[in-house]
Amino acid sequence: MIQRRFPLTINRLSALSARRYPHSMSSTQINGIARPANMPQTPAAFDFRTDTITTPTKSMLLSMTQSTLGDAVFNEDETTASFEAHVAQLLGHEKGLFVPSGTAGNQIAMRSHLTSPPHSVLCDHRAHIVTSEAGGLATLSQAMVQSVIPSNGVYLTVEDVKRGAILDEDIHYAPTRVIALENTLGGTILPLEEVARIREFATAHGVKMHLDGARLWNACAAGAGSLSDYGRHFDSVTVCFSKGLGAPVGSVLVGSPTFIQKAKWIRKSIGGGMRQTGTLTNAAWTALRETYPKLPVTHEVTKDLEQHFRSLGIKIKLPVQTNMIFMDLDATGLKNAWFVEEAKKHGVKFGYSGRIVVHYQICPEAVAGLKATVETVVKKKAAGDYNEDTEEDIPGYGNMK
């Protein structure tokens, strides 16, 4: 069990941001954006676009030099095997498998569960597994998707699942074989009691359950339940170490011994079998020990930002429960491009579609810069200083979850 050892105070952010791997940066600019002279030495400290840009700390990099160097494909690397077993135990499962990314973990899981077409996967219409994994369900698993819009606007309920699932033998349709849930999604928590209800329904109909738990750490750090409380309701779970936890690479897929043996075949077939992975798994292990207890601080900072934005008249799309804020730009009459440009002037990076992500390497100066950015945009909008016909430049990852 990983324990939290500190009070939830925003002042903790100053202490956290000071413990960075000291990159050698003499310039006052990083990625073309001006930085204060006393900034923490990582570009992630001022970047609110996502938590994947967290950089490995000195202790993570040091741990990479202290791992075993066996061949993990041959099951000969002790560090990797121990780490996989540890993560599986945390999630209430028997076996684990280290994979290059969360996408790899999700797609390997789907291909392992889905063995005989026709078949389909039921998920939230915003789920990463269907919106942001390059069509892997179709290309790797030959699967149809039943994407369901949650009736409460936040998370899927068992009633939503019943409404979307295909369970009969009508040969015109691809029957539901897997229910794939995501926690957190859009920074919101899927309640444990709802997971239990969906699990009961899935079991009754012989449907497998998979959890994209890339940010399950955040849900558990927010007090929604333990890792094993969630994990035991699913046939397979992926958790990511390179997002909020800050490791350089990797996710772990967990499940039964039979499932993981199948997953190893699939991992190999798509080029995901890596050799001396002890260097990577040791860094991920260090991230788990060091960063997981710090996540509540990021949640408190996020709530502080939300309250500030609301005080300025900004509308928020989703409940702010962990480390993400989604501004409702349409309802507020604001353009994302305005925030991006103003953010540059205040030394911070702003994402797309009104999404803000707080991670543990964000520093207090960045929080102040983001608040100033939003204040400036609101004032300029009120003064009529913006071109209302500004076109939004939203790349493919504009709808990141």
- In percent, the amount of the chain with pLDDT more than 90 equals 83
Above 50 in pLDDT, residue 349? Answer: yes
Q: How far apart are the C-alpha atoms of 326 and 353, rounded to whole Å?
A: 8
Are 146 and 205 within one domain?
Answer: yes
The answer to whether residues 66 and 207 belong to one domain is yes
Q: Are residues 127 and 216 in the same domain?
A: yes
Question: How confident is residue 119, by pLDDT bands cut at 50, 70 and 90?
Answer: very high
- Average of pLDDT values for 271-294? 97
Count of domains in the chain? 2
Does 236 lie in the same domain as 150?
yes
The answer to whether residue 83 scores a pLDDT higher than 70 is: yes
| Domain closes at, from 291, 314, 343 | 291
- The answer to whether residues 44 and 132 belong to one domain is no
Establish if 160 belongs to a structural domain: yes
pTM: 0.88
| Residue finishing a domain among 291, 314, 337 | 291
Verify that 45 and 129 share a domain, yes or no. Answer: no
CATH number for the domain including 233?
A: 3.40.640.10
Domain's final residue, options 291, 324, 355: 291
Question: Quick check: 71 pLDDT over 90?
Answer: yes
165 falls within a domain: yes
Across the range 106-131, mean pLDDT stands at 98
Residue 305 included in any domain: yes
pLDDT per residue over 30-63, tens digit each?
Answer: 344 444 444 446 889 999 999 999 999 999 999 9
Contact 301, 10 (CB under 8 A): yes
Would 5 be classed as within a structural domain? no
Note whether 75 and 170 are same-domain residues.
yes
Q: Check whether 28 has a pLDDT greater than 50.
A: no
* Per-residue pLDDT tens over the stretch 235-248: 999 999 999 999 99
Please indicate, yes or no, whether residues 92 and 236 belong to a single structural domain of this protein: yes
Enclosing domain of residue 301: 12-56+293-399
Lowest model confidence (mean pLDDT) among 10-24, 357-371, 380-394: 10-24
Provide the CATH number for the domain around residue 387. Answer: 3.90.1150.10
What confidence score (pLDDT) does residue 394 get?
56
The answer to the question of residue 2 being in a domain is no
